[in-house]
Chains A and B, each alone.
Chain A
């Protein structure tokens, strides 16, 4: 099981500007990979292509043996719901819901909210939020909100976790906690973790770094 991308090209706008020039990536199951590069190097674009949130202009993407371009929209959504977790720089929690309810949002989609509730609580406890499960995002610090969003990404026990600058908005202490959590998940659950970061210290957490320069892979 792995993610195999071949000759991924992504162009934007009119006239087209190319963000990625035929990138080949091979992610093995259980890997912890950091995509690094300067701002505008195409690292976020690569992450969104690998995570099926965006579609490549050309090139092939195969996840767990399935070619994404052969799947229907419904299958892709289901696949994302069950197999993938996302963590964004802006945590995007729903302000109307409590930390626990936010964590359970992916389970709500498949009608497994009650089934996943004990696991969601255990995740929040593990992330040091055991006493704050019923607080709303507005009552949590930035670091705590980001931990809730990681719990949300993990509640369905996905095989892949994609994180786009998960520490970008956090202070060093909170950033360290987030990175330790991601590392722990990767070790214990063998979840494939792909993060985008421009912080070399956090990139060093990863087993492998894919360094992008102007839309091509400079080193991996």
Chain B
């Protein structure tokens, strides 16, 4: 029936072309939108994974609830009622037994590297401008092993921080907000500590405002000293050989430790839930386009069935069976779906390639080299094609079945012979 189906389609070139165009645009739209969204998502995830730890072990934070203090005050009393129940948070400024963690991480083959950190909120001052930011004290050599920070340095090297000497590397946003320049000094005050001058030796730009405007790196010793808490560790940032193991590993460590252990995806669950919403929007939009295209196929084939009643009658009378008639119309839908889907994929790919060349910002805003990061995951293309093909099959199935149900004798009789 392929021969006849092709003839039918070719004899209605305009209709065929317009229907195919609908499917083509639907598929291309899906491919482009998915490419952009997933590309952006990969970029964000890449940022999350590569600019922070896969797993972060940090000092314990424990909210105080109504019964948190029952044991301390009343021993084994069963029912304790407070007139004014206790509230607040018990914080530990440091990881209690950091060496235990170091031994454990050293002995674990799944751990690629780790970097002990001491993180504090600090007030940065330059002349009359003051700005709060997170000051991360770390060993630069170890930090470089767990993140790609060196890749994002605009000025200077990350290792310039050294082991001591009050040198810092700051985000370009923070640098701008302070109105400072590289090699200038800024005054930093941390908690109860004194005001300490630090020299800016480098600038990084990761591309995420939340990091670039509020983060500075210094050496572990210097930050510990500035806070008057030598040898304290507040965080251990861990990089794994396989990032996919982050969540189960974090959960298993958390269950055997009093410290807070979080994988990158737990820490960024808010961001990841945005991706789910994006997925819903993307899929429902594409589905809408394809439903419209599907209705196009349905309408055209339905009209064709009505126009072709006489021919269906003659085909049936010369020995064509009901399933041949189903095939005749189904094949048309399949051809429309397949060609529309394939050309849509090609067009989508071409548009994605073009979008990939657009420079968003002369700097390094989104993705490497300042251009948009587009995803070319095969699954996008497979999904796009399947959606187009599936909707075409579904849309042609109903007219095909109604055509097959027509009895030749009834058509002939209704024609007035």
Contacts and interface: CB of A to CB of B under 8 A. Distances in A.
A86 B317 contact: yes
Given A86-B318, A88-B417, A168-B417, 12 more contacts: A53-B317, A80-B318, A81-B318, A88-B314, A88-B412, A90-B417, A92-B313, A94-B314, A95-B11, A96-B8, A109-B319, A164-B417
B324 interface: yes
A157 B300 CA distance: 37
Given A44-B417, A54-B409, A92-B311, A74 B321 contact: yes
B198 to A, nearest CB: 82
Q: Interface of chain B, helix or strand or loop or mixed?
A: helix
Interface in B1-43: 3-4, 7-8, 10-11
A89 B417 contact: yes
B408 interface: yes
Nearest to B412: A88
A78 B8 CA distance: 25
The 8 A-B residue pairs with the shortest CB-CB distance, nearest first, are: A81-B319, A92-B314, A96-B11, A54-B409, A96-B7, A106-B318, A80-B319, A89-B417
B319 to A, nearest CB: 3
Given A89-B417, A90-B415, A165-B417, A77 B319 contact: yes
Interface of A: 44, 48, 53-54, 73-74, 77-78, 80-82, 85-86, 88-90, 92-97, 105-106, 108-110, 152-153, 164-165, 168
B409 to A, nearest CB: 4
Nearest to B318: A106
Contact of B7 (A77, A80, A97, A152): A97
7 contacts: A48-B412, A77-B320, A81-B319, A92-B314, A164-B417, A165-B417, A168-B417
A126 B313 CA distance: 27
Given A48-B412, A54-B409, A77-B321, A86 B314 contact: yes
A105 B315 contact: yes
Interface string B404-417: 00001100110101
Given A89-B417, A90-B310, A92-B310, A109 B318 contact: yes
Interface of B: 3-4, 7-8, 10-11, 310-311, 313-315, 317-321, 324, 408-409, 412-413, 415, 417
Given A92-B314, A96-B7, A96-B11, A53 B412 contact: yes
Contacts of B324: 109
A81 B317 CA distance: 8
B319 A106 contact: yes
B317 A80 contact: yes
A153 B415 CA distance: 20
A191 to B, nearest CB: 16
Contacts of A82: 319
Nearest to B410: A54
Contact of A78 (B311, B319, B409, B417): B319
B320 A109 contact: yes
A95 B7 CA distance: 10
A27 to B, nearest CB: 19
Contacts of B315: 105
Nearest to B1: A108
A36 B257 CA distance: 101
Contacts of A85: 318
Nearest to B307: A95
Nearest to A136: B11
A168 B412 CA distance: 14
A28 B132 CA distance: 108
Contacts of A109: 318-320, 324
Contacts of B409: 48, 53-54
B308 to A, nearest CB: 9
A98 to B, nearest CB: 10
A53 B4 CA distance: 23
Nearest to B10: A96
A92 B417 CA distance: 12
Nearest to B415: A90
B314 A53 contact: no
B408 to A, nearest CB: 6
Contacts of B4: 94, 96-97, 108
A73 to B, nearest CB: 7
A145 B383 CA distance: 48
Contacts of A74: 321
A194 to B, nearest CB: 14
Contacts of B319: 77-78, 80-82, 106, 109-110
A47 B365 CA distance: 80
B243 to A, nearest CB: 57
A105 B320 CA distance: 10
A162 to B, nearest CB: 9
Contacts of A96: 4, 7-8, 10-11
A16 to B, nearest CB: 16
Contacts of A95: 11
A169 B358 CA distance: 67
B408 A108 contact: no
